[in-house]
Structure 1
Amino acid sequence: MNSSQTVAQGASQFKIAVVGGGLGGLTLASVLQHAYKIKCAVFEFDDHINSRNQGGSLDLHVESGQLALEKAGLTDQFRKHARYQGQDLVLADMTGKILMKHVGSEGPTGGELDRPEIDRTVLRQMLIDSLDEDTIQWGKKVIKIEEGSKDNGKHPHTLTFQDGQTGTFDLVVGADGAWSKIRKLMSEATPVYSGVTMIEGRMSNVDIDHPEVSKLVGDGTFWGLQNNKGLLCQRNGDGSIRVYIALRIEENSLSYLDYSNPEIPRKYLMDLFSDWDDSLKALIEESSTFIQRGIYMLPTDYTWKSHPGVTLIGDAAHLMTPFAGEGANMAMLDGAKLATAISEIAYNGKDLATTLDNFERDMHNIVTPLATESFENMNTLISENGPQATLKFFAMMGNDNAAP
């Protein structure tokens, strides 16, 4: 690799399709372009960047999400938006009694607990802005993937899109989320319900319009837990607070509620939390909208038989519960590591099938314990004695910020 021009020419014949423009797929594309001068095409189902809400705030871990951004050359950009005060955490029981307060660092430490918050929308935009203009093709829904004839060690696959167009690629990367179409080529596994449903509420301009809630939640995260229920709150960088009302209930048992009328789920939830302290019920009472989100997961030890010419990253590969903050971080790390593996194929002539198999084995080894941890964390928080179990967990972790 004598120059970037030589690099680009050397990889130009290797055609890569990334199905899905979430954080994993975008990180893969960004690292490919920035670190290895390799082009790919990202096919995104959404019609445009603002088609739907991208969710709340993420904590990016130094050994995964931040490492991936470093490989994409985006560390300085990240630091401009990172909210280190977002690492603060407050734990309370249903009476409103504060059981623990953890205060995060005021800036980067480089250590294991260097996990500042960044809004998902901001992070996604940062990755999109780092890509060549023609990288993402919007409104491209994949409806079929077909394997072509093997030739000289290549394993081409053809994608068919909803608009009738097709494309053939040397490598197809399924970065298409929980209900991945590409995963169906690899195995028959589908996500299963975890046992917990969240109903997401939101308050905007909280410092002015919801001052008591703003004070309760603070600069980071607030957890109110008890009796297999939780009020899990996070402050976002846009001055809003998201409230995730977690309930251990049967799958789809609240789907009958009309969420288009916020007063209907609000009444149900206020009745459900009627014995909780008023300061906590305000998190429900003052939310302006409600969205039901069942929590689904793949088996924590999920693997598949490697399929040359196709691989999976992110939620398509290892959908997990959100109770360890690892889902987005692992998706981004997957993207960065796959980019490195692709560079070995494109420049050094490494065997495609063997390289993908090695990448997948490494990914499974990293993710399996984290997916297990996340599921166990969910069962700790959303339990009959959630506050006490969570306090015990933090004590075992060496947290010394418990409230008196």
Structure 2
Amino acid sequence: MTRSPRIAIIGAGPGGLTLARILHLAGIQATVFEREDHALARPQGGTLDLHAESGQLALHRAGLAGEFRRIARYEDQGSRVYDKTGVLLFADDADGGDRPEVDRTALRQVLLASVPGETIRWGHAVRDVRSREDGTYDLVLDGGTAGPFDLVVGADGTWSRVRPLVSPYAPQYTGLTFIEFGIDDVDDRHPALSRLVGRGKMDAQGDGRALIVQRNGNAHLRGYAIFRVPADWAAATFDFSSPASARTRLAAEFAGWAPELVDLIRAGNDHIVPRPIHALPVGHRWANRVGVTLLGDAAHVMSPFGGEGVNAAMLDAAELGRHLAEAADWTDAVRRYETEMFARVVEPAGRAAEAVATELSHIGLELTLRQMSEHAAGR
């Protein structure tokens, strides 16, 4: 059995690209299949706080710690909590923590620049993965196939096309829906809102709903209005084809809140989209199948509370890459990775599940304040 299998990585997100980079450093070739046509085909999402023990560790192993420091925003680690009347209940504007913020697009560009250009096959949406009689796999793409591959790594997110090969589980709706909005050029166009949010993230709760707003790079704010509603509620309630109409309807959901908080919605641009939150069961695992494995959200998608998702994906990639680089038998490397990953993600997935279960509860604001205070005290 060869030490270096023919590897296909499905998905060019942070997890898939981190794995490709670490394998490249080890002299192991891999091909990344990405459905997007190019790196900037769609917005990559909001800001991330990369944790020292996971996301940052993965970048260190990838030899990209210096590049990360150049794009990290250490000044944007603050937190603020308001009640619905606009009273500031908690503020931590310190910039000395070890979880600096970084924009997803900037992080992806660093990772893309770290692998040979031919590693990524853009515009290659994987529709299915089929096994051959010899134990290898072909990828079914739009308009053709690719393969054979000895190892297929599903790094393709919540609705992974690879997961069904090893697990019957599908992510379940958590009961929470986020409606995402954004504010451009906030420092110059909306200085009062800029001051309201501060350098980092603000959280406001009341009347069974919440607003979370994050500061991104380039004076951009990304916000999320949060509701505990049926999965089809947003589609039935809002006309997302008309951003102005959707914005007005969203603001109406916060009637009775402080005007300055509702102004965060009114100042939004035309990017307004629903984000129903899904998760796999805590402790999700599967029996090892030679030639197929998962990482990141494909393996253990969890709620975004706690910011563990990307960090866990990048650490998964670092550990899988390490095992593949060190082991004489790559099949044994994958088994070891899976065994360790299953155990490692139980705790953060459990915390995320508890957080999503208590969000918007009658003690939700109290729990948020406690969490913020504990985080600030731990710096």
Structure 2 length-normalised TM: 0.95
Query: Which of 272, 275, 300 is the matching residue for 2:256?
Result: 275
SS at match of 1:255: helix
Deviations 1:65-115 (A, max 9, x none): 001101111100100111112110001111111111123334xxxxxx511
Deviations 1:348-401 (A, max 9, x none): x2251x332221111111111101101212334432342223223445x37459
The answer for the alignment partner of 1:4 in structure 2 is none
The answer for the alignment partner of 1:149 in structure 2 is 133
The answer for the alignment partner of 1:120 in structure 2 is 104
SS at match of 2:102: strand
1:17 maps to 2:23: no
1:228 CA drift (Å): 2.4
Deviations 1:46-74 (A, max 9, x none): 11111111001000000000011011111
Equivalent residues of 1:92, 1:387 under 8 A apart: no
1:340 maps to 2:319: no
Equivalent residues of 2:93, 2:198 under 8 A apart: no
1:400 to 1:125, Cα distance in 2 relative to 1, 3 A: closer
Deviations 1:232-275 (A, max 9, x none): 00010121001111111111112032112122222222221111
Q: Which moved more, 1:62-71 or 1:355-364?
A: 355-364
Aligned mates of 1:288, 1:166 — CA distance in 2: 40
The answer for the alignment partner of 2:204 in structure 1 is 224
Query: What 5-or-longer segments of structure 1 have no aligned partner?
Result: 1-9, 107-112
1:126 to 1:389, Cα distance in 2 relative to 1, 3 A: same
Aligned mates of 1:147, 1:261 — CA distance in 2: 44
Query: Which of 102, 113, 118 is the matching residue for 1:134?
Result: 118
Q: CA RMSD in A?
A: 1.7
Q: Aligned letter for 1:29?
A: A
1:355 maps to 2:317: no
Alignment of 1:5-404 (within 5 A): 14-34=5-25, 36-106=26-96, 114-150=98-134, 155-256=135-236, 257-289=238-270, 290-345=272-327, 349-350=328-329, 352=331, 354-395=332-373, 397=374, 399=376
Q: Which moved more, 1:328-337 or 1:381-390?
A: 381-390
Equivalent residues of 2:77, 2:99 under 8 A apart: yes
Aligned mates of 1:389, 1:187 — CA distance in 2: 34
SS at match of 1:95: coil
1:185 to 1:81, Cα distance in 2 relative to 1, 3 A: same
SS at match of 2:227: strand
Aligned mates of 1:209, 1:311 — CA distance in 2: 47
Aligned mates of 2:290, 2:360 — CA distance in 1: 40
Structure 1 length-normalised TM: 0.89
Q: State how many pairs are aligned.
A: 375
Percent identity of equivalent pairs: 40
Q: Aligned letter for 1:262?
A: P
Q: Aligned letter for 2:341?
A: M
Query: What 5-or-longer segments of structure 2 have no aligned partner?
Result: none
Equivalent residues of 1:380, 1:390 under 8 A apart: no
Q: Aligned letter for 2:39?
A: I
Aligned mates of 2:111, 2:127 — CA distance in 1: 26
Equivalent residues of 1:226, 1:383 under 8 A apart: no
SS at match of 1:67: helix
Q: Aligned letter for 2:357?
A: N
Aligned mates of 1:388, 1:215 — CA distance in 2: 24
Q: Aligned letter for 2:286?
A: W
